[in-house]
Amino acid sequence: MLADCLLIIAIAFGTALAGEGITWLLVYRSDQYKRLKAEMDKKTKKLEKKKQEVGDSADKNTKKKLEREEERLKATNRDMSMFKMKSMFAIGLAFTALLSTFNSIFEGRVVAKLPFHPIGFIQGLSHRNLIGDDMTDCSFIFLYILCTMTVRQNLQKILGFAPSRAMARQQSNNPWAPQQSQMNYLR
Amino acid sequence: MSSPKKATQSAEPTVASTFVKALQPGSEWPDKDELLDVVYWGKQILSLLVGFVFGFTPLVGLLAIISYVCISSVVAQHYVTKFQKVDEDDVGGFWELSKEGFGAAFATFMVTWISTYTSLNQ
C-alpha cells in the first residue's frame, strides 16, 4: 500500500509539473499575458493604496472614481481570463483523460488506510470503486486530489505563477470569482 | 537616477535574506506580503511535521484534524504577534493569518498523515 501511496504522490507531482510546464508554454511566457499581468498588478496595487488613503470618509466623487477604477480592473481581469481560457480548457481536457487512465489502472485497489472515518459526501470520493464496507479504505482519486492540492499550489508559488496577494484579495472581494488555478484539482 | 539608499529600499528581498529575517525575533517587515510568505512556508513545514507525528503516534479520527487546525492557527498567530512582534491587524487579523495557505497546508498534513499511518498499519 505504501508503494501505491508514494506512486500516487509521484504521479501528482509529475502531472502538476507537466501542467505548469504546458501552461507556461502556452500562456505564461507570451508577451500579451506578461503585459496583462503587469498591468493587473499595477492597477490592483494602485487601487489598494488609494482605498487605504481614502478610508471610509470618502466623498461621492472619490467613491465614484474608485468604482470606475475597480471596473477597469475587472475588465483587465476579464481579458486575462479570456486569454488563459482556451489553453486552460485544452490542458484540462488532456489531464482529465490522463486521470481517467490512472483511475482505471488503480480501479478497485485500496491505495491507503485512512486514519479517520470520512463523513458522508467524502465517502463518495474516498471509497470510489472499492469493494467492502470498511470506509477507512482509501481509493486512488481521493489521495490524488489531496496530493494535487498540495503539489500544484506549492509549485505555482515556487515558480512564481501564483497570482499576487493584492490580486487574490481583489478577487476574493468578489465571491463569484473563485481562483481558477486553485479550483482545478482534477486537472 | 535614484540614490543608492532608495535603490536598497526598493530592492526585492531574496530567499536567503527572508530566511534570516524569519528566524530572527522582532525583524522589520516593511512588506507585509513577505511576512505572509514566511507564514505560508512555515505552515507547510509545520503540516509535514504534525502529519508525521500524528501518523506515527498514531492519532486518529476527527480529534486529530481539529487538533491540526488549532495547532496551525495558534502557531501562525503566535509567530507573528509574539516572535516577530508585528501587530496582527497589519497583516489582516487572526482570520487572515489562519486562512493564509490553509488549503495547501491542510492537504500537505493529510497526505503526510495518511502516508505515515498507512506505512505503519498495512
Model confidence over A27-77: pLDDT tens digits?
888 888 888 888 888 888 788 777 777 766 667 788 788 888 888 888 888
CA A87 to CA A85: how far, in whole Å? 6
Q: Identity (one letter) of the amino acid at A110?
A: V
Contacts of A112 in chain B (CB under 8 A): 114-115, 118
* Cβ-based contacts under 8 A for chains A and B: 70
In tens, the pLDDT along A66-86 reads: 888 888 888 888 888 888 887
CA A69 to CA B7: how far, in whole Å? 30
C-alpha cell at A85: 481560457
Counts of helices then strands in chain B (DSSP H, E): 6, 0
Rounded to a whole number of angstroms, the distance from the CA of B61 to the nearest CA of chain A is: 4
Other beta carbons within 10 Å of B84: 20
In tens, the pLDDT along A129-186 reads: 888 888 999 999 999 999 999 999 999 899 888 877 777 766 665 544 444 444 444 5
Contacts of B60 in chain A (CB under 8 A): 115-116
ipTM score: 0.84
Rounded to a whole number of angstroms, the distance from the CA of B3 to the nearest CA of chain A is: 23
Q: With a cut of 60, say whether residue B7 has pLDDT above it.
A: no
Domains of chain B: which residue ranges?
30-121
Q: Flag whether residue A30 sits within 8 Å of chain B, measured between CB atoms.
A: no
The helix (H) or strand (E) run that includes residue A138 is strand A137-138
C-alpha cell at B42: 512555515
Contact A146 B122 (CB under 8 A): no
Q: Flag whether residue B117 sits within 8 Å of chain A, measured between CB atoms.
A: yes
Rounded to a whole number of angstroms, the distance from the CA of B37 to the nearest CA of chain A is: 9
Global confidence as pTM: 0.83
Phi/psi at A6 (nearest 5 deg)? -65, -35
Contact B59 A157 (CB under 8 A): no
